[in-house]
C-alpha cells in the first residue's frame, strides 16, 4: 500500500515537472513577442448598454464639421461620389436640435466605396465628453448605405467604460437639408462591455 502511494506521488510530481518544463521550453523557442497568456476569469460580469444620441454633420459653409480631403479626378462628377474621402469631427448631441446637449464627437473617416450607389465605408470613433461616459470611446467600422432607412454597423472596440466593447449601431437619417448639406442621424448603440 505504501509503495502504491509512493508511486502515485512520484508520478504526480513527475507530471507537474514535465508540464512546467514544457511551458518554459516553448517560451524559450522564439515566442519573445508573447508577453503573457492566461485564462481570463469568467467571474467578470458582462453588461449591455443601450445609448441613443444624434450625430450632427455639416458638410458645407464656415461651420462645417466634415471636409472632403481626396477624390480620384476621373470620378469628380460621379453621382455615387465614388472615391471621395471625408474626415469628420461632428458633434454628438442628446437630441436632433442643434442646441441640445453636447455629449461627444464623431471623429473619423468616411470613404465613398460604392461605384454605382452612394455607400460609405465608415471608420469612426465616438468620443464621449459628458456624463458617466466622459473620456470613453466606441469604435465603429462598417458599411453605410445612406439611402437605406435603417443601417447597421458593427462596434469593433472601445476604451474607458467601453473596454472590450462589441455590438452594433443602428443608424437612421432623422433630417437632411440638401441646400446646406446638413444631416442629423439618430444613433442607437447596443454595446456589450465589462
List the chain domain ranges: 47-193
184 in Cβ contact with 175 (< 8 Å): yes
Classify burial at 168, counting beta carbons within 10 Å of its beta carbon; exposed 0-12, middle 13-18, buried 19 or more.
middle
Residues in the chain: 194
Instruction: Give me the pLDDT at residue 9, please.
Output: 45
CA angle 78, 83, 87 (to 5 degrees): 120
Query: How are beta strands 137-145 and 150-159 bridged, if at all?
Result: antiparallel
Instruction: Give me the pLDDT at residue 179, please.
Output: 81
- pLDDT tens, per residue, the chain with 194 residues: 555 444 544 444 444 444 444 444 444 455 567 666 666 666 678 899 999 999 999 998 889 999 999 999 999 889 899 999 999 999 999 999 999 999 999 999 999 999 999 999 999 999 999 999 999 999 999 999 999 999 999 999 999 999 999 999 999 999 999 887 899 999 999 999 98
Predicted model pTM = 0.78
Which CATH number applies to 47-193?
A: 2.40.480.10
- The set of cell numbers assigned to 67 is 471636409
Amino acid at each position: 500500500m505504501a509503495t502504491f502511494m509512493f508511486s502515485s506521488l512520484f508520478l504526480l510530481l513527475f507530471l507537474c515537472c514535465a508540464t512546467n518544463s514544457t511551458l518554459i521550453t516553448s517560451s524559450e523557442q522564439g515566442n519573445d513577442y508573447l508577453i503573457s497568456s492566461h485564462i481570463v476569469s469568467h467571474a467578470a460580469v458582462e453588461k449591455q448598454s443601450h445609448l441613443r444620441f444624434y450625430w450632427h454633420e455639416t458638410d458645407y459653409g464656415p461651420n462645417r464639421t466634415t471636409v472632403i480631403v481626396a477624390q480620384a479626378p476621373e470620378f469628380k462628377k460621379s453621382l455615387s461620389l465614388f472615391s471621395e474621402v471625408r474626415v469628420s469631427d461632428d458633434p454628438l448631441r442628446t437630441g436632433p436640435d442643434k442646441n441640445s446637449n453636447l455629449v461627444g464627437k464623431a471623429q473619423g473617416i468616411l470613404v465613398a466605396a460604392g461605384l454605382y450607389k452612394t455607400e460609405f465605408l465608415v471608420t469612426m470613433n465616438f468620443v464621449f465628453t459628458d456624463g458617466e461616459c466622459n473620456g470613453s470611446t466606441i469604435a465603429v467600422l462598417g458599411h453605410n448605405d445612406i439611402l437605406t432607412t435603417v443601417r447597421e454597423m458593427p462596434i469593433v472596440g472601445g476604451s474607458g467604460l467601453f473596454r472590450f466593447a462589441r455590438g452594433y449601431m443602428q443608424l437612421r437619417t432623422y433630417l437632411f437639408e440638401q441646400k446646406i448639406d446638413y444631416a442629423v442621424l439618430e444613433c442607437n448603440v447596443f454595446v456589450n462591455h465589462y
